[in-house]
Amino acid sequence: MDNIPTHVAIIMDGNGRWATREGVEKVEGHKRGVDSLRNAVKAANDWGVKFLTVYAFSTENWGRPADEVKALMELFSIVVIREAQELAKAGIRLSFIGAIDELSTTLQEQIEEVSKIYIEKEKMTLVVAMNYSARWDIVNAAKKMVKQSELRKAVNRGVESNRSDVEEFSSYLSTSFMPDVDLVIRTSSEQRLSNFMLWESAYAELYFTDKLWPDFSKEDFAKALEWYNGRQRRFGIR
């Protein structure tokens, strides 16, 4: 494939339906979802993707039953500790976006720890969207931008930058360290973005598959890349 997307973003959906289909507890579906994530990370890294952002927990997901939320948080905690070193060995940097300060202090500390791990030969960044939603991020960015402009006014300095408003606004988003999304993948046959990367996906290609997230394999990832490879992106100018 000659056209590998730089930034792939995945909405990992369908763990609950997988559990129902298999006749097991929902948390089992989330556990199997972690196995799928491992496969997807490996596949993305092997294909030369530079940024892989995965939607792990949305700000709306707090509205789920308390025991499910608790199980999910425990799972994140285990995964973050267990996988970080392995990822680092494979040249994968682990990064987080979302309202991290609203998570448990234990989880926050773990996130801080793993974010400091030294990566010798960096190949890819895995960005975990944890307690994230696009609207949360956009509102936050707007607040920061207003604050910054008030500060500038207070010291009586005009805007000196040559950047466009769009570029300036983007710089306040939690995703400012990466390029826009090229390809969004959503599993489990839902065709919606559910508050994920609304700003960054402005010109992304959207790929939907019927596969439930725990069933999503390396081959399925390759299929999505093949589909992307055949798309003609125009960005409104061609």
Report which of 96, 80, 8 is spatially closest to residue 46, judged by C-alpha positions: 8
Residues that contact Mg ion, how many (by CB under 5 A): 1
Q: Report the residue number, 86 or 190, with the smaller CB distance to Mg ion.
A: 190
Among ligand IPE, Mg ion, none, what does residue 61 contact (CB within 5–8 Å per kind)?
A: ligand IPE
Instruction: Tell me the C-alpha to C-alpha distance, in Å, between residue 142 and each of 98, 164, 167.
Output: 15, 15, 13
Contact (Cβ atoms closer than 8 angstroms) between residue 7 and residue 184: no
Question: What residues contact residue 5 under an 8 Å CB cut-off, 6+ apart?
Answer: 49, 182, 183, 205, 225, 228
Among ligand IPE, Mg ion, none, what does residue 125 contact (CB within 5–8 Å per kind)?
A: none
Q: How far is the CB of 132 from ligand IPE (least distance, A)?
A: 8
17 binds ligand IPE (CB under 6 A): yes
187 binds Mg ion (CB under 5 A): no
Q: Report the residue number, 27 or 172, with the smaller CB distance to ligand IPE.
A: 27
**Measured distance CA(61)–CA(68) in Å, rounded:** 10
Contact (Cβ atoms closer than 8 angstroms) between residue 13 and residue 187: yes
Q: Per-residue contact track with ligand IPE, 29 to 68, x per CB under 6 A? A: --------------------------xxxx--x-------
182 binds Mg ion (CB under 5 A): no
Contact (Cβ atoms closer than 8 angstroms) between residue 91 and residue 122: yes
What order of strands is seen across the sheet that includes strand 183-186?
92-97, 124-132, 51-58, 7-11, 183-186, 205-208
Helix (H) or strand (E) segment spanning residue 56: strand 51-58
Q: Report the residue number, 5 or 14, with the smaller CB distance to ligand IPE.
A: 14
Active site residues: 13, 61
Q: How far is the CB of 194 from Mg ion (least distance, A)?
A: 8
Residue nearest to Mg ion (CB): 13
Binders in 175-204 for ligand IPE, by CB under 6 A: 188, 190, 192, 194
Q: Report the residue number, 172 or 174, with the smaller CB distance to ligand IPE.
A: 174
Main-chain dihedrals φ then ψ at residue 129, nearest 5 degrees: -90, 105
Q: Report the residue number, 172 or 175, with the smaller CB distance to ligand IPE.
A: 175
Among Mg ion, ligand IPE, none, what does residue 56 contact (CB within 5–8 Å per kind)?
A: ligand IPE
**Measured distance CA(107)–CA(130) in Å, rounded:** 11
13 binds Mg ion (CB under 5 A): yes
Residues that bind Mg ion (CB under 5 A): 13
Residues that bind ligand IPE (CB under 6 A): 11-17, 55-58, 61, 72, 188, 190, 192, 194
